[in-house]
A and B are shown apart, each in its own frame.
Chain A
Amino acid sequence: MSALLSFQNITKEFVDKRSGRSVRALAGLDLDIHEREFVCVLGPSGCGKSTLLAAAAGNDTVTSGHVRFDGQVVERQHHSRGMVFQVGAVFPWLTAFENVCYGPKIRGIDRKVYEPKAREVLAAVGLSDFADHYPRQLSGGMRQRVAIARCLANEPRLLLMDEPFGALDAQTRLTLQDLLLQVRESYDGTVLFVTHDVDEAILLGDRVVVMSPRPGRVVLDIPIELPRPRDSSVETSDAFVTIKRRLRDAIAHAD
Chain B
Amino acid sequence: MATGSAAMSLPAGGSATRREGRFGETGGRVALGLVLPLVVLTAWQLLGPVLFTEYQLPPPAKVLQSAWVYVVGDAAGGQYSGTFVTDLTASLQRVLSGFAVGSLVGVPLGLAIGFSRRVAQVVEPSISVLRSIPGIAWLPLAIIWFGFGHTSSVFLVALGSFFPVCISTIQGVRFIDPNLVLASLTLGASRRQAVTSVALPAAIPSVLNGLRLGLAYSWIYMILGEFTGVNKGLGAALMHARDTMRTDIVITLMIIIGLLGVITDWPVQRLFQRVFRTDVR
Spell out A's residues near B (CB within 8 Å): 57-59, 76-79, 81-83, 85, 87-93, 95, 97-98, 102-104, 106-107, 129-134, 136-142, 147, 150-151, 154, 160
Does B17 make an interface contact (CB < 8 A)? yes
Cα separation A81 to B15 with both chains bound (whole Å): 31
Does B201 make an interface contact (CB < 8 A)? yes
- Which of the residues B8, B14, B193, B201 comes within 8 Å of A91, measured between beta carbons? B201
Cα separation A194 to B179 with both chains bound (whole Å): 17
Assess whether B277 is in contact with A134, with CB atoms less than 8 Å apart. Answer: yes
Across-interface contacts of A78 in B (CB, < 8 A): 186, 188
Cα separation A24 to B276 with both chains bound (whole Å): 43
Does B42 make an interface contact (CB < 8 A)? no
Does B76 make an interface contact (CB < 8 A)? no
Across-interface contacts of B8 in A (CB, < 8 A): 137
Beyond A89-B177, A91-B198, A138-B14, is A150–B187 a contact (Cβ under 8 Å)? Answer: yes
Across-interface contacts of B187 in A (CB, < 8 A): 79, 82, 102-103, 106, 150-151, 154
Assess whether B183 is in contact with A85, with CB atoms less than 8 Å apart. Answer: yes
Q: Which of the four size classes fits the interface of chain B?
A: 35 or more
Assess whether A59 is in contact with B201, with CB atoms less than 8 Å apart. Answer: no
Assess whether B188 is in contact with A83, with CB atoms less than 8 Å apart. Answer: no
- Can you list 21 A-B contacts with CB-CB less than 8 angstroms, sorted by A residue number? A58-B186, A59-B182, A59-B186, A76-B185, A77-B182, A77-B188, A79-B186, A79-B187, A82-B187, A89-B183, A92-B202, A93-B204, A102-B197, A106-B189, A107-B188, A131-B6, A137-B14, A137-B17, A139-B10, A140-B13, A160-B186
For chain B residues 174-208, which have a beta carbon within 8 Å of chain A?
A: 177, 179-180, 182-189, 193, 197-198, 201-202, 204
In angstroms, how far is the closest chain B Cβ from the Cβ of A117? Answer: 14
Assess whether B179 is in contact with A88, with CB atoms less than 8 Å apart. Answer: yes
Across-interface contacts of B5 in A (CB, < 8 A): 132
In angstroms, how far is the closest chain B Cβ from the Cβ of A223? Answer: 28
Residue of A nearest to B278 (CB): A93
Does B144 make an interface contact (CB < 8 A)? no
1/0 contact string of B1-33 vs chain A (CB within 8 Å): 111111010111111010000000000000000
Cα separation A150 to B277 with both chains bound (whole Å): 21
Residue of A nearest to B6 (CB): A132
Across-interface contacts of A139 in B (CB, < 8 A): 10-14
Across-interface contacts of A83 in B (CB, < 8 A): 182-183, 186
Interface centre among B1, B14, B279 (most CB of A within 10 A): B14
Beyond A95-B1, A139-B12, is A77–B6 a contact (Cβ under 8 Å)? Answer: no
Across-interface contacts of B179 in A (CB, < 8 A): 85, 87-89
Assess whether B10 is in contact with A138, with CB atoms less than 8 Å apart. Answer: yes
Across-interface contacts of A106 in B (CB, < 8 A): 184, 187-189, 193, 197
Cα separation A92 to B17 with both chains bound (whole Å): 14
Assess whether A136 is in contact with B186, with CB atoms less than 8 Å apart. Answer: no
Ranked nearest first, the 7 interchain pairs of A and B with the lowest CB-CB distance are A139-B13, A79-B188, A103-B187, A89-B183, A77-B185, A89-B179, A83-B186
Across-interface contacts of B13 in A (CB, < 8 A): 138-142
For chain B residues 196-224, which have a beta carbon within 8 Å of chain A?
A: 197-198, 201-202, 204
- Which of the residues B6, B177, B278, B279 comes within 8 Å of A88, measured between beta carbons? B177
- Which of the residues B3, B17, B183, B193 comes within 8 Å of A136, measured between beta carbons? B17
In angstroms, how far is the closest chain B Cβ from the Cβ of A152? Answer: 11
Residue of B nearest to A107 (CB): B188
Residue of B nearest to A77 (CB): B185
Assess whether B6 is in contact with A81, with CB atoms less than 8 Å apart. Answer: no
In angstroms, how far is the closest chain B Cβ from the Cβ of A155? Answer: 11
1/0 contact string of B44-68 vs chain A (CB within 8 Å): 0000000000000000000000000
In angstroms, how far is the closest chain A Cβ from the Cβ of B156? Answer: 35
Assess whether B201 is in contact with A93, with CB atoms less than 8 Å apart. Answer: yes
Cα separation A138 to B11 with both chains bound (whole Å): 8
Assess whether A92 is in contact with B278, with CB atoms less than 8 Å apart. Answer: yes
Residue of B nearest to A83 (CB): B186
In angstroms, how far is the closest chain A Cβ from the Cβ of B245? Answer: 55
Residue of B nearest to A153 (CB): B187
Cα separation A77 to B187 with both chains bound (whole Å): 8
In angstroms, how far is the closest chain A Cβ from the Cβ of B212? Answer: 18
Cα separation A154 to B187 with both chains bound (whole Å): 7
Beyond A82-B187, A88-B177, A132-B2, is A57–B201 a contact (Cβ under 8 Å)? Answer: no
Across-interface contacts of A136 in B (CB, < 8 A): 14-15, 17, 279
Across-interface contacts of A103 in B (CB, < 8 A): 187-188
Residue of B nearest to A132 (CB): B6
Across-interface contacts of B3 in A (CB, < 8 A): 95, 132
Residue of A nearest to B4 (CB): A132
Assess whether B186 is in contact with A82, with CB atoms less than 8 Å apart. Answer: yes
Across-interface contacts of B279 in A (CB, < 8 A): 136
Across-interface contacts of A134 in B (CB, < 8 A): 277
Cα separation A151 to B6 with both chains bound (whole Å): 24
Residue of A nearest to B193 (CB): A106
For chain B residues 147-164, which have a beta carbon within 8 Å of chain A?
A: none
